[in-house]
Amino acid sequence: MTPQHPKRPKEISPEWLTQALRDGGLLEKATVLAIPKLEMLGDDKGFLSSVVRLSLEYDQLEPQAPNSVVVKIEPEEETFQKLGDELHAFQREIRFYKEVANSAPIRLPRLYFSVDEPPAYCMIMEDLSAFTPGDQIMGMHEQQVLTTVESIAKLQAKFWNNDTLQQLQWMPTSNSVSDDYPEKWESFIKYFGEIAGKDGLQVGVKTREIVYTFVKEFGLFFVPLFKCFNGCAMV
């Protein structure tokens, strides 16, 4: 009997992983015996998904069998689930990896297996924990910033005026930051005003005044970049 797809991290089982990795072409005869370690990522609470890193133990060695994987499933909080459904978050991210990622000129994790149907969206992905992740609290040092900008430039150049993206109806064509910037500004001041400082807040006020004009005048310049990044939904 085929194991049910998990809806919660605690429902991820060796049996399900075995079947999923076989369907993904990574296992032939090997079986996942146990999950020695399950590590929640993102401070135990994902925004549009719950993300866990799993170490795997097999009954026999096979060349393509991963020692660890990262599994993304729907978030446990109903509010975040509804938001993800409204944004078609999992569908967009899965289709990005299946239809766009292979042609992207930057390093991305491999997608081993996915479920693109309710009520149990999920993705099994390559574990890239050996790389150095960005720190959203501490920020990035100079070399990380330069490397990030270089990667963005490569991605933008690859898909600039690329007709292929126009054929992907599931991928958004713009970033809606201008739609709710004024509404979010007061909340930003409340929670981050002291961190931003006087000069930072002045920049924010000026941005608030011109955000609609900026998007109208320059929006088309950023469309290819928005399509690539929005196609791979936030997590």
* Sequential pLDDT tens for the chain (235 residues): 678 899 888 999 999 999 999 999 999 999 999 999 999 887 655 567 889 999 999 999 999 999 999 999 988 777 777 777 777 888 889 999 999 999 999 999 999 999 988 778 899 999 998 888 777 778 888 888 899 899 989 988 888 888 888 888 887 766 666 667 777 788 788 878 888 888 888 888 887 777 767 666 655 445 544 445 444 443 3
Same domain, 19 and 81: yes
Q: Is residue 137 a part of any domain in this protein? A: no
**How many other C-beta atoms are found inside a 10 Å radius of the C-beta of residue 185?**
16
Provide the residue range defining the domain that includes 147. Answer: 142-231
Same domain, 80 and 151: no
Same domain, 13 and 120: yes
Domain-ending residue, one of 126, 159, 185: 126
CA nearest 34: which of 9, 11, 15? Answer: 15
Domain-ending residue, one of 94, 126, 158: 126
Give me the DSSP letters along 164-207: HHHT-TTS-SS-THHHHHHHHHHHHHHHHHHHHHHHHHHHHHHH
CA nearest 134: which of 150, 123, 124, 148? Answer: 148
Phi, psi of 42 (to 5 degrees): 80, 40
Same domain, 107 and 154: no
Same domain, 86 and 115: yes
Model pLDDT, residue 132:
80
Model pLDDT, residue 189:
84
Output the furthest CA–CA distance in the chain (Å, rounded).
63
Amino acid sitting at position 34: A
Yes or no: say if 91 and 26 are a contact pair by the CB < 8 Å rule: no
Q: How many domains, the chain? A: 2
Same domain, 146 and 224: yes
Model pLDDT, residue 139:
81
Model pLDDT, residue 207:
78
Q: Is residue 136 a part of any domain in this protein? A: no
Neighbour order of strands in the sheet with 111-115: 32-41, 50-58, 68-73, 122-126, 111-115
Model pLDDT, residue 128:
93
Domain-ending residue, one of 101, 126, 151: 126
Model pLDDT, residue 89:
84
- Written as six digits, the tokens of 69 are 């994987």
Same domain, 163 and 114: no
Model pLDDT, residue 234:
37
Same domain, 17 and 96: yes
Same domain, 19 and 114: yes
Same domain, 162 and 103: no
pTM listed for this prediction: 0.74
